[in-house]
Amino acid sequence: MFYWAPHTSELELHIEAAGEHEVFIDALLGVAELLGVDVRREPDVCRRLRAQAGDRPALLAAWLEELIFVVETEGFEPVGVRELRLEDESAEALVVGSLGEPPPLIKAVTYHGLTFAAVEGGYRASVVLDV
Amino acid sequence: MSELPIERVGERIWEVPAGARAGMRVPARVFADAELLSAIRADHSLEQLANVATLPGIVEAALAMPDIHQGYGFPVGGVAATEPPAGVVSPGGVGYDINCGVRLLALPLDVGELGARRSPLMREIARRVPVGTGGKGSRDGLRGIRLERVLALGPRALLEDLGIGSEEELTVTESAGCLERADPARLSPRALERGAGQIGTLGSGNHFVELQRVDRLYDPPSARAFGLREGQVTILIHSGSRGLGHQVCTDFVKRMDSRLRDYGIELPDRQLSCAPLDSPEAQAYLGAMAAAANFAWANRAALAERARAAVGAVLGPAAARGLRQVYDVAHNVAKLEQHDGRTLCVHRKGATRAFPPGHPELPGAYQDAGQPVFIPGSMGTASFVLAGRPRALELSFGTTCHGAGRRLSRTAVRKQVRGEVLRDRLEEQGIAVQAGSARGLAEEAPEAYKDVERVVDVVHAAGLAAKVARLRPIGVIKG
């Protein structure tokens, strides 16, 4: 699950999930919600995203950066994740969605308050988006 | 609510002592009155400012203007000066929207002469100025741009290659619209890809084009020097370096973050990632940041050209020819400047340079008045024209505020305000509104911001910048 915490000027995404894969998937779904994308709709395009970073929090940020890049440059509207492969310092996935005109909301993924940690029963992560 | 101790150390100056938190190398100093300070303490602004005070090589104090609010890493409204070679540069101290700034244009007519042509002019500007962060509309930038020349030369490249702008406009642009250290080779392919086709586009969030009338003059001689008179129509443009600048910051936050341990730097927040000014990472960042800053000045020049074309189409060629640029200032940038005989890297994140009369970097026409500074309020309130004052060099590395400063989150303000209702309310106040979405409009509602008049009164009273004129909105185009 994900939720948005109050932040004076930016958007702060929090994720609680059973596994690491789910954290990455929920992060994508959080962005989809922000863009107003109906994730129940049938996807008709896919994009392969590859992210690299030296630790899990930075890898989560890199994953979202890749996603936001295709949103910004192609009008990609994500609805789900296929074939997510996580390694220590990389993530690779096929994301599915459609092409449209997503609202212009997200400028960048920050490292402020960036977390990704194992907790009892799963994982917790947080990331602040510059909007 | 901040629990950091803060004490009054002067008229409208407050300080968190350097010992208040482990790692602080200097105090954290805030320009505010008691009411603004109360709002500032309500979020994490002071904690973020105290974090800035831990940066290696920071001198004097981590400073905050009265419009400070919680950001990411640095607070918005923050100023930090670091001293080479061990002092650092922090990309987060500039922000993602490198050289976000404002440009003020003055029309050769009064609001009475504009009359019923206000709405057609608004529609024509909105038709010609693409808005939004990405997708459709974001890549309808000027054609024929030679991006590498823009990155190296700023708006001069538009003048030389496309005949856009003038030598006079370059003169009345901060740093003549060109940071000389610009090194386009330092930009990543992705930064170049994100910037392609975006020169002449507004962007989203709090970016805007506002049609205004000069409502009040506080300092008529300085207003005359700036070419402003009561009742005159003005256009204020707020935009920055678009996706190109966002990517430069993203690239270098990541790159410096990976080298922190090598430089023995420990930080309380990863977004403060930084590198010593004499390091290869810092030099590369300064080159890339300068190129992005030049891109932003060119972007505002292109937006001004589009506004001029709209003026020509609606008000005629004489009005377009008579449109004058008052000045163009950055409020997200880091610059190497001389202060008290020292070379310092001054980070201004949501803060405006405000050099006083007689400063050698000011154009001849403004030598007596001081540097023009523009402080946008919110779309339902006034904006201000200020002029830099000598105390700014003594107290704030020649810096003043940049806006009203947010006080409510986007979520909170959407709970209070509906975009459609706000639009009607603004129309009733005589403010025509063009916005991409009702949601975006609501998020930028006046309720989301502090009282700009109070903010401006603080910097005026503190002697950082003096009030010259007040501008009232008569039309707003939101990104």
Which positions in chain A have a beta carbon within 8 angstroms of at least one beta carbon in chain B? Answer: 4, 6-11, 53-54, 57-58, 62, 65, 69, 71-75, 100-114, 128, 130-131
Q: Does B424 reside within a domain?
A: no
Judged by CB atoms closer than 8 Å, whether chains meet at B408 and A8 is answered as yes
DSSP label of A43: P
Nearest beta carbon to residue A101 from set B71, B135, B412: B135
Q: Does B382 reside within a domain?
A: yes
Closest-CA residue of A relative to B250 is A108
* Per-residue pLDDT at B137: 52
Nearest beta carbon to residue B190 from set A7, A69, A112: A69
* Per-residue pLDDT at B139: 64
- B343 pairs with which residues across the strands? B338
Question: Among residues B246, B347, B402, B460, which one is catalytic?
Answer: B402
Q: Write down the H helix ranges in chain A.
A: 20-35, 56-74
Taking CB atoms and an 8 Å cutoff, what residues of chain A touch B412?
Answer: 6
Q: For residue A16, what are the domain limits?
A: 2-130
Q: Does B417 reside within a domain?
A: no
- pLDDT per residue, tens digit, chain B (479 aa), is 889 999 999 999 999 999 999 999 999 999 999 999 999 999 999 999 999 999 999 999 999 999 999 999 999 999 999 999 889 999 999 999 999 999 999 999 999 999 999 999 999 999 999 886 555 555 688 888 999 999 999 999 999 999 999 999 999 999 999 998 999 999 999 999 999 889 999 988 889 999 999 999 999 999 999 999 999 999 999 999 999 999 999 999 999 999 999 999 999 999 999 999 999 999 999 999 999 999 999 999 999 999 999 999 999 999 999 999 999 999 999 999 999 999 999 999 999 999 999 999 999 999 999 999 999 998 889 999 999 999 999 999 999 999 999 988 888 898 899 999 999 999 999 998 988 788 888 888 999 999 999 999 999 999 999 999 999 999 999 87
Domain CATH number, residue B29: 3.90.1860.10
**Helix or strand or coil: residue B57?**
coil
Q: What letter represents residue B350's amino acid?
A: G
Q: Does B78 reside within a domain?
A: yes
Residues 259-278 on B with a CB inside 8 Å of A are: 269-271, 273
Domain CATH number, residue A65: 3.55.10.10
Residues sharing a CB contact under 8 Å with residue B389, sequence separation 6 or more, in sequence order: B354, B356, B370, B463, B464, B465, B466
Q: Does B253 reside within a domain?
A: yes
The beta strands (E) that lie in B340-430 are given as 342-349, 352-353, 372-375, 383-388, 399-400
As a whole number of angstroms, the distance between CA A98 and CA A85 comes to: 22
Taking CB atoms and an 8 Å cutoff, what residues of chain A touch B258?
Answer: 54
As a whole number of angstroms, the distance between CA B45 and CA B64 comes to: 9
* Per-residue pLDDT at B378: 87
* Per-residue pLDDT at B211: 97
Kindly state the tokens that stand for B172. Answer: 């009345």
* Per-residue pLDDT at B364: 96
Task: Quote the radius of gyration of chain A (alpha carbons, Å).
Answer: 14
* Per-residue pLDDT at B24: 98
Query: Which residue's entry shows tokens 């640095």?
Result: B74
* Per-residue pLDDT at B372: 98
Q: State the burial class of residue B133 (Cβ atoms within 10 Å of its Cβ: 0-12, 13-18, 19+).
A: buried
The beta strands (E) that lie in B317-431 are given as 324-330, 332-339, 342-349, 352-353, 372-375, 383-388, 399-400
Q: Does B239 reside within a domain?
A: yes
Q: For residue B254, what are the domain limits?
A: 7-407+449-478
* Per-residue pLDDT at A36: 92
pLDDT tens for residues A63-87? 999 999 999 889 999 999 999 999 9
Q: Could you say which residues of chain A have pLDDT below 50? A: none
Active site residue B402: yes
Nearest beta carbon to residue A6 from set B246, B269, B411: B411
Residues sharing a CB contact under 8 Å with residue B38, sequence separation 6 or more, in sequence order: none
| Sequential DSSP letters for B169-223 | HHHTSGGGG--TT--GGGS-HHHHHHHTT-TT---STT-EEEEEEEEEES-HHHH
Mean pLDDT taken over chain A: 95
* Per-residue pLDDT at B392: 98
Judged by CB atoms closer than 8 Å, whether chains meet at A58 and B70 is answered as no
Nearest beta carbon to residue A112 from set B246, B269, B406: B269
Judged by CB atoms closer than 8 Å, whether chains meet at B253 and A6 is answered as no
As a whole number of angstroms, the distance between CA B354 and CA B405 comes to: 18
Closest-CA residue of B relative to A75 is B135
Q: Does B103 reside within a domain?
A: yes
Tell me how far apart the 2 most distant CA atoms of chain B are, in Å.
64
For chain B, how many structural domains are there in total?
1
As a whole number of angstroms, the distance between CA B107 and CA B95 comes to: 32
Judged by CB atoms closer than 8 Å, whether chains meet at B257 and A58 is answered as yes
Kindly state the tokens that stand for B210. Answer: 């506002």
Q: Does B436 reside within a domain?
A: no
